[in-house]
């Protein structure tokens, strides 16, 4: 018997990014999600009938420790700021390391330091280049009553997977490009290999310090 997903708890959590005042949010937890993971939705502002939504994949190093090897931290801050202005949701998805987990991601980082790119490093570990499945995200949106949305992302796979689950992505809204000398190789790989809609060309970007 399959369980029908439902809301478990709604609780107020003011969010503070940087020095500014706290942004009001409500965290929503769920029961019965397909993958059994503890994904959390943050409701920001007053979502209208077509809310702005970000599916944010967990990145401990970027989101919490502000690692410069990726762009996750600034993307999360941007998402909270933009979505709280217009009303919508950040779904914080427990998909650390594109779904391979934290230790595997750090193993992959070590391989990248000896020359592999982000996708080849996963492959060298015998792991998928991107293991993320957005079924649970679609379930969360359905439970929240969201059938149509604008999606804040540069990743075409998120749009395609949501569509396959019957969620109507009205518009793909690009996230910012937060390039620095530590993440420029990574961003370039995302644009060139998985079609992320990052602004090209790269000539204006900082030079990579990574090999």
**Which residues form the catalytic set?**
130, 132
Identify what 153 binds: Zn ion, ligand GTP, none; CB under 5 to 8 Å per kind: ligand GTP
CB 27 within 8 A of CB 40: yes
User: Contacting ligand GTP (CB under 6 A), which of 154, 161, 177, 188?
Assistant: 154
Check whether 181 is labelled as a binding-site residue: no
Judged by beta carbon, residue 51 or residue 62, the one nearer Zn ion is: 62
Distance CA 130, CA 187 (A): 15
Is 116 annotated to bind a ligand? Reply is no
Q: Cα dist. 199→52, 118, 192, 196, 205 in Å? A: 21, 19, 11, 9, 10
Distance CA 209, CA 184 (A): 9
For residue 62, state whether it binds Zn ion (rule: CB under 5 A): yes
The mark string for 12-41 relative to ligand GTP (x by CB under 6 A, - otherwise) is ------------------------------
Would the annotation count 162 as a binding residue?
A: no
Going 139 to 57 to 59 to 112, the CA torsion angle's sign is positive
Round to whole Å and give the CA distance between 144 and 127: 33
Outline where 13-144 has alpha helix (H).
72-86, 102-113, 118-124, 135-143
Q: Is 78 annotated as a binding residue?
A: no
Closest approach, Cβ 80 to ligand GTP, in A, equals 14
Residues of this chain that interact with Zn ion (CB under 5 A) are: 59, 62, 70, 72
Residues of this chain that interact with ligand GTP (CB under 6 A) are: 57-59, 70, 72, 75, 95-98, 100, 105, 108-109, 118, 122, 153-155, 158, 175, 186, 190, 196
């Amino acid at each position: 018997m399959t369980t029908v997903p439902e809301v478990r708890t709604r609780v107020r959590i003011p969010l503070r990014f940087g020095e500014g005042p706290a942004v009001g949010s409500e965290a929503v937890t769920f029961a019965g999600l397909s993958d059994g993971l503890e994904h959390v939705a943050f409701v920001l502002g007053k979502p209208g009938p077509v809310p702005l939504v970000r599916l944010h994949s967990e990145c401990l190093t970027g989101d919490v420790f502000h690692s410069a090897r990726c762009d996750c931290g600034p993307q999360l801050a941007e998402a909270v700021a933009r979505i709280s202005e217009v009303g919508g949701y950040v779904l914080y998805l427990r998909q650390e390391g594109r779904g391979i987990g934290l230790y595997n991601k750090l193993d992959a980082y070590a391989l990248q330091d000896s020359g592999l790119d982000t996708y080849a490093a996963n492959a060298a570990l015998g792991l998928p280049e991107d293991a993320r499945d957005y079924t649970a995200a679609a379930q969360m949106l359905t439970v929240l009553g969201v059938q149509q949305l604008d999606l804040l992302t540069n990743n075409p796979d998120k749009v395609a997977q949501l569509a396959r689950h019957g969620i109507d992505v009205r518009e793909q809204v690009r996230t910012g490009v937060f390039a620095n000398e530590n993440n420029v190789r990574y961003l370039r790989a995302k644009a060139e290999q998985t079609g992320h809609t990052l602004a090209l060309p790269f000539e204006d970007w900082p030079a990579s310090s990574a090999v």
